[in-house]
Chains A and B, each alone.
Chain A
């Protein structure tokens, strides 16, 4: 099946505005045309994203791609117009606009893919850090890996709050998509990422102190990063 192009009416095509922000922000015919062109652009970007993730889409027909893409484009358009004043021209307007559609479409596909799957916060189970059946190295490396897994389990219980542990398990062990988890918990992607960042920082610091990890290299970009937590995350 070839890549389906989401359809946009003929009136959406033709020359794009030379100044999108001006065209979109000035009431009148030009604004109406620019709005249609923008929506068409977002639909096509959203369709691109849905197609990329088609293995997650039930019954991935061109019609289904269109349906998801149009829904995502509608939401993306609202979000974009609310942030139109933030466009600074450091990239092409179309590139800037595309990202709103891609983000929304990707999130929508993930939400739909997980809609029938229960997501529950749980604590670490000893089997979570089991090693894969096939791994490199001999018995000595296997013993080291098992020792590290055991140390990790201890560190998770000693260094993390229950919430941090649950979020780390959900995102990094169960691999629940971050936006799916955020929606289920009524929080944001950013808040969850902050939580898992803090968790990783603490775990690396603890395992380094215990001698299981090498000391981090002191580069300009990395200096100080391992000991400074960002502002407290919720809850």
Chain B
């Protein structure tokens, strides 16, 4: 039986978050990862699994990506 596909607390509890990777390590790799992805670099499955599981880290990546695409003037 597969997990029903609707967004609920149940789905969040069962979310596949990959091999353990800490928020600290995610932060350490953030800048290199975003630059690489913007340049068409390869996926990083362990980091991306963490991002699916951690909304705060996912926001950091999304925000940095947006910032690099449209840098602030100054």
**Chain B interface category by residue count:** 35 or more
**From B3, B17, B68, contact of A197 by CB (8 A):** B17
Which of B2, B14, B32, B35 has the most chain A CB atoms inside 10 A of its CB?
A: B14
Which residues of A approach B to under 8 Å, CB–CB?
5-6, 8, 12-13, 40-41, 44-45, 47-49, 52, 90-92, 95-96, 98-99, 102-103, 106-107, 110, 128-129, 131-132, 135-137, 141, 144-145, 148-149, 152, 156, 168, 172-173, 175, 177-179, 189-190, 193-194, 196-197, 199-200, 203-204, 207, 211-214, 216, 221-222, 225, 230
Q: Binding site of A, secondary structure by majority: helix, strand, loop or mixed?
A: helix
Determine if A189 and B35 form an interchain contact, defined as CB atoms under 8 angstroms apart: no
Report how far A79 CA is from B21 CA in the complex, Å. Answer: 22
Determine if A189 and B56 form an interchain contact, defined as CB atoms under 8 angstroms apart: yes
Chain B's closest residue to A47 (CB) is: B72
Number of A-B contacts (CB under 8 A): 146
Chain A residue contacts of B13, Cβ below 8 A? 152, 156, 168, 172-173, 199-200, 203
Knowing A95-B34, A98-B67, say if A45 contacts B1 (CB, 8 Å).
Answer: no
Report how far A68 CA is from B60 CA in the complex, Å. Answer: 17
